[in-house]
Amino acid sequence: LTNFHGSTGDIIFLGTRSEYLQPCFEDLGKLEIPFHIGGSGSDLRTPSACMGPALCELACFDTLELCYDLTMTYQDELHR
């Protein structure tokens, strides 16, 4: 079962076990059709955070500030 993710065209294999994914990835890479399989690489993804203090008056940690700080610090490493 596959799921095509958004406008990026990412293929997500649903209902499989992790140990089967790498061999599948390698087999797809050996096909003669001219497309790039890609991979997630080591880049960070676009960060998101719990709304924390914006919605919860009892929040003990400012999750939004941490998300902002991490985004600004690692801006060049983010994958968009």
pLDDT in tens, 19-63: 887 787 778 778 777 556 665 554 556 677 888 888 888 888 888
Residue 75: pLDDT over 70: yes
Strand partners, 12: 3
User: According to the model, what pLDDT value does residue 9 have?
Assistant: 57
Name the DSSP class of 51. Answer: -
User: 64: closest CA among 74, 51, 78, 77?
Assistant: 51
- Across 1-80, the runs of DSSP E, i.e. the strands, are 2-5, 10-13, 44-45, 78-79
**Chain centre distance of CA 75:** 16
Most confident of 2-6, 35-39, 40-44, 74-78: 74-78
User: According to the model, what pLDDT value does residue 80 have?
Assistant: 47
Residue 4: pLDDT over 60: no
Name the DSSP class of 20. Answer: H
